[in-house]
Amino acid sequence: MQKVLIVDDEEVLRMLIEDTLEDLENVEIHTAENGAEALTKLSGQLYDLVILDYMMPEMTGIEVLEALDIEQKNAMPILMLTAKAQENDRSKARDAGARFFMPKPFSPMELLQIVEGILHENSETL
* Model confidence pLDDT, tens digit, residues 6-63: 999 999 999 999 999 998 999 999 999 999 999 999 998 899 999 999 999 999 999 9
Ordered strands of the 100-103 beta sheet: 27-32, 2-7, 49-53, 78-82, 100-103
Angle, CA 23 vertex, CA 125 and CA 33 arms, to 5°:
85
- According to the model, what pLDDT value does residue 122 have? 81
- According to the model, what pLDDT value does residue 125 have? 67
Checking if the pLDDT of 90 tops 90, the result is no
Average pLDDT over residues 72-82: 93
How far apart CA 73 and CA 94 sit, in angstroms, is 11
Checking if the pLDDT of 70 tops 60, the result is yes
- According to the model, what pLDDT value does residue 39 have? 97
Note whether 3 and 41 are within 8 A (CB).
no
Question: How many domains would you assign to the chain?
Answer: 1
**Nearest CA-CA partner of 114 in 82, 73, 78, 88:** 78
Whether 100 is covered by a domain: the verdict is yes
Q: Band of the pLDDT at 123, cuts 50, 70, 90?
A: confident
Whether 126 is covered by a domain: the verdict is no
Q: Model's pTM, two decimal places?
A: 0.94
Whether 125 is covered by a domain: the verdict is no
Average pLDDT over residues 67-84: 91
- According to the model, what pLDDT value does residue 89 have? 86
- What residue numbers bound the domain in which 83 lies? 2-120
How far apart CA 77 and CA 88 sit, in angstroms, is 20
How far apart CA 13 and CA 22 sit, in angstroms, is 14
The CATH code of the domain that includes 72 is 3.40.50.2300
For residue 87, the tally of other CB atoms under 10 A from its CB is 8
